[in-house]
Amino acid sequence: MFIVFGLRFFFYSNEHLPIHVHVRNADGEAKFSVEDVKLIANKGLKRKDVSLALSLIEENKQIIIAKWNEYHGK
């Protein structure tokens, strides 16, 4: 979907509700809820990267939701 400051934001093809986004970098991967922006799971992302991802998701929330709906045919 997009890469910012070394963080790659993306969806998997077999996703399910609620709307969420995965974020990956060299350290690991985390999963974030989009509508109620929060961390769902984290496997290795550093605290500063989690904070950055949360801020970026909040700032781009409507774009991410639109892309989710487009990607999943909603």
pTM across the whole model: 0.92
Give the pLDDT of residue 49: 98
Give me the half-sphere count of Cα atoms (radius 13 Å) on the Cβ side of residue 54. 14
Could you give the number of structural domains in the chain? 1
Cα–Cα separations (whole angstroms), residue 15 to 31, 40, 56, 66: 12, 14, 21, 15
pLDDT, averaged in runs of 10, over the chain (74 residues):
92 88 97 97 98 97 93 76
State the residue range of the domain holding 10. Answer: 2-71
Give the pLDDT of residue 74: 65
Give the pLDDT of residue 29: 98
